[in-house]
Homo-oligomer: A and B are copies of this chain.
Amino acid sequence: MNIENIVNTKNIKLTSARKTILEILISSNKPLSYEDIKSKLSMDKATFYRNITKFEEENVINSFESNDKKRYFEIQKTKHSHFICTSCSKIECIHEKLDLKLSKYQIDNIIIKGICPKCLDK
């Protein structure tokens, strides 16, 4: 997964702010919120969010809201779903393949909300 390759096919100029964001997301194995990564960012939050919007428009990243009301950002290296526990707010990546017959739809992300095993046990 190479940043230049990701960006070259899209209508995106690769600035240093953008490179930083993509590098952070690529090297993470889980979705991240702005708060998760702000300490690693040298840019202003406005720049961060503007670039995130751009990336989403160009389908470079995807995002979803979690239980904590924050938006989580991710580059999907391999297609997977997300489980969000509405009790402890933990996000888990689910690599089980789901067979959806929604053939006319483009599916970018699947989010499953519920209660995780740990919280069910309590």
Q: Which residues on A are within 8 Å of B, measured CB to CB?
A: 56, 62, 64-65, 69, 83, 86, 94, 96, 98-102, 104-117, 120
Contact = CB atoms under 8 A, between A and B. Distances in A.
Q: Quick one: copies of this chain in the complex?
A: 2
A31 B110 CA distance: 18
A110 B111 contact: yes
A113 B83 contact: no
Contact of A120 (B65, B94, B106, B109): B106
A113 B65 contact: no
Given A106-B120, A111-B110, A115-B106, A98 B98 contact: yes
A32 to B, nearest CB: 17
A64 B69 CA distance: 10
